[in-house]
Amino acid sequence: MKRSLLLLFLSVFVFIACQKEEVPPIPGPDPIELDLGSLTTASAYGLITDESGNPVAEAIVTLGNKTTVSDANGVFRIQHAQVRENLTQVKVEKSGYFFGGRSFRPKYEANPFVRIQLLKKVIAGEFESATGGLVELAGQEVAIDFPVDGVVDGSGQPYSGTVKVAIQYLDPTASDLDQRMPGNLLGFNDRDGERVLSTFGMVAVELTGAQDQKLQLADNKPATLTVTVPASLQSNAPASIPLWHFDESVGIWVEEGEAMLENGKYVGKVSHFSFWNCDAPFPVVHMSGSIFLNTNDNPLSGVQVRITIVSSSFSGYGWTDENGVFGGDIPAGEALVLEILDLCGEVVYTENIGPFSADVVLADLILPSSAFTNMPVNISGTLVDCDGNPVPNGYVKVMLGGTASVFYVDNTGAFSGMIQVCSATEFDLLGVDLDNLVQSNTYTFTVAQEVVTGNIEACDVELDEYIQFTLDGEEYLFTENLFLSDSIPGESFFISASGPNQSYWFNFGVNGADVGTFPCGIFYLWESNGTGGTTQVAAQNPGDISVQVTEFSLIPGELIRGTFEGDFLDSQGGSHSVDGTFKVLRDF
């Protein structure tokens, strides 16, 4: 259905006794505002990979008021973050990649498992700002026509010079679209409120200058965006369709403009660049359910759920969490097909559901073992340290071909979970101790219906360098860009570290130069909030933080280790509590 952003102003004139009187326009309905709901808490865990399925380490992952980084296995976990109950998102940022994320509703999902695939920023072409120009993606799925003198820098000033254009096309028919796109195909406009979206094509675009500085389109200088509609969707493509951009601050698609179908391609004007989407909107309701194997005390985790709209054949995807729970927004008033897919891509269950006019929780789905051509493998064991003691804070990562699954341990070190084996006869497993920053060697097991691993020793591989600390309940981990030298030789030393893409920095000084207990000399943390603002914590009296140096050397290339803890006031009088550990190689 065609959407128009033009406001039509009607003036009615009547004539009484030969005098003209203007009647004011009839007011329209008030714009609808997005309701994010009340504050609550939520957790999330998952895997961050690149487009080839390789783990992405040290990506910045944010949920509500908490931030962490993905580890060497691409794994992250955030617990008990403060979020809004109606909508929040896991945000992922990494230098060289487009923004990644997954949105969910905490009032329905308290601890979702998410898979997020980061898309590399690939330069598709460039043009001179003074003349504008056409940039096309190599496969010609996307083309952008830029206006003359239409680019500004980060401060809004006109930019003159070469403009580089990074483009990624997201195929709306791809089975991994849910991992590649931000959000969850939930949209919003101020006429109808929230809408669930069916996409005909999606694109990510970023403009940078000669010095790699970020650029944007100037006000009133739109670009023309052309997106090819896949052949399988041509018959359902409407003549005009709303355009939507992704609001990274909220985690939702926002309607802005429209595109017309021209020779199998949608063509429309856009006023800025981020992610853009050509989508048909539908009224929205929320659906959730749980999947079990054989009995309802055996949750089936990590399986894919596909929901297809019967009238249009559009599909959406999701994954079950460690409790077998899945959920998401679906179109109201539409007949749907629910399918469960194993990790081999085979459909193991099909059911016609809907239409629904209100939020719905489906009856438990209990699948028999006979439903699976490739039988799921139950894995269980215990994560221990070098002395055989249980590791209460850690996880195991199970790797099978190009897929990976993560199972967190409980406070006794026990773990259990289920994987799907397609054709392999073996799988690999490693364990990670998050408290001591060590992991096991890789274990290899033969595929069987039940695999009991026994003890997995997480003590063989230690990170070369790191600083890890908890500040006011928020965890920070630095494993790269660490630098250590003497502040005053023989009296004090200094450590500096920075996070990915210089998004946060940490300076830490110790008034000592030997093994022993010393006062902290410097404690300073600077962090970008991703929206142009920053947070800074500088200790007013760093000596309130006590440092225990357990290993010390004056020789470059050798280690300095220790721990630190204390309560302190910052430069503005705010109170803080910190404790942490460090293991850093001396540079000078």
Strand pairing report for 162-170 and 151-152: unpaired
Q: Is 588 exposed, middle or buried (0-12, 13-18, 19+ CB in 10 A)?
A: exposed
Q: Is 445 exposed, middle or buried (0-12, 13-18, 19+ CB in 10 A)?
A: middle
Closest CA to 336 of 365, 357, 367, 364: 357
Q: What is the DSSP letter of 572?
A: T
Instruction: pLDDT tens for the chain, 588 residues: list them.
Output: 333 322 222 222 222 233 334 445 555 566 788 899 999 999 999 999 999 888 888 888 999 988 888 887 888 888 888 999 999 999 999 989 999 999 999 988 888 889 999 999 999 999 999 999 999 998 778 999 999 999 999 889 999 999 999 999 999 988 888 899 999 889 999 888 999 898 999 999 999 999 999 999 999 999 999 999 999 899 889 999 999 999 999 999 999 999 999 999 999 999 999 999 999 998 989 899 999 988 888 888 878 899 988 887 788 888 888 788 888 888 999 999 999 988 777 899 999 999 999 999 999 999 988 888 777 788 999 999 989 999 998 889 888 876 778 888 999 999 988 887 777 888 999 998 888 888 898 999 998 888 999 999 998 777 678 898 999 988 888 866 788 878 788 888 988 887 654 456 888 999 999 999 999 999 999 876 544 456 789 899 999 999 999 999 888 888 899 999 999 999 888 999 999 999 998 876
Q: Which amino acid is at 478?
A: F
Q: Could you please report the per-residue DSSP string of 394-437?
A: EEEEEEETTEEEEEE--TTSEEEEEEE-SS-SEEEEEEEETTTT
Do 346 and 423 contact (CB within 8 A), yes or no? Answer: no
Do 478 and 497 contact (CB within 8 A), yes or no? Answer: yes
pLDDT of the residue at 20: 38
How far is the CA of 477 from the CAs of 19, 186, 465, 504, 551, in angstroms?
77, 33, 11, 11, 20
Residue with tokens 């406001």: 7
Q: Which amino acid is at 172?
A: P
User: What token pair was written down for 473?
Assistant: 């309940």
| CA angle, 10 then 16 then 20, to 5° | 50
* CATH 2.60.220 correct for 123-282: yes
User: What token pair was written down for 525?
Assistant: 């943390």
Strand pairing report for 365-367 and 284-293: parallel
pLDDT of the residue at 529: 53
Distance CA 498, CA 68 (A): 14
Three-class secondary structure of residue 234 per DSSP: helix
pTM for the full model? 0.67
Peptide bond into 355 cis (omega under 30): yes
Architecture of domain 285-362: Sandwich (2.60)
Distance CA 136, CA 280 (A): 25
Strand arrangement of the beta sheet that strand 304-309 belongs to: 315-319, 304-309, 336-341, 347-353
Q: Dihedral, CA atoms, 352, 356, 360, 362, nearest 10 degrees?
A: -10
H helix count then E strand count, the chain = 1, 49
Q: Is 532 left (phi over 0), alpha (psi -120 to 50) or beta?
A: left
| CA angle, 351 then 201 then 221, to 5° | 150
End-to-end CA distance of the chain: 67
User: What token pair was written down for 103?
Assistant: 């949105």
Closest CA to 210 of 270, 123, 119: 123
Q: Which long-range contacts (CB under 8 A, 24 or more apart) does 80-84 make?
A: 80/41, 80/42, 80/43, 81/41, 81/42, 81/43, 81/44, 82/39, 82/40, 82/41, 83/39, 83/40, 83/41, 83/42, 84/36, 84/37, 84/38, 84/39, 84/40
Strand pairing report for 304-309 and 336-341: antiparallel
How far is the CA of 152 from the CAs of 155, 210, 216, 226, 269, in angstroms?
8, 13, 5, 22, 18
Q: Which amino acid is at 372?
A: F
pLDDT of the residue at 342: 80
Distance CA 346, CA 371 (A): 10
Question: Cα 409 vs. chain centroid, distance in angstroms?
Answer: 23
| CA angle, 570 then 576 then 577, to 5° | 140
pLDDT of the residue at 1: 33
Q: Is 297 left (phi over 0), alpha (psi -120 to 50) or beta?
A: alpha
Residue with tokens 């920075």: 498
Strand arrangement of the beta sheet that strand 113-117 belongs to: 75-84, 39-49, 113-117
Three-class secondary structure of residue 379 per DSSP: strand
Domain at 376-462, CATH homologous superfamily: Immunoglobulins (2.60.40.10)
* CATH 2.60.40.1120 correct for 39-117: yes
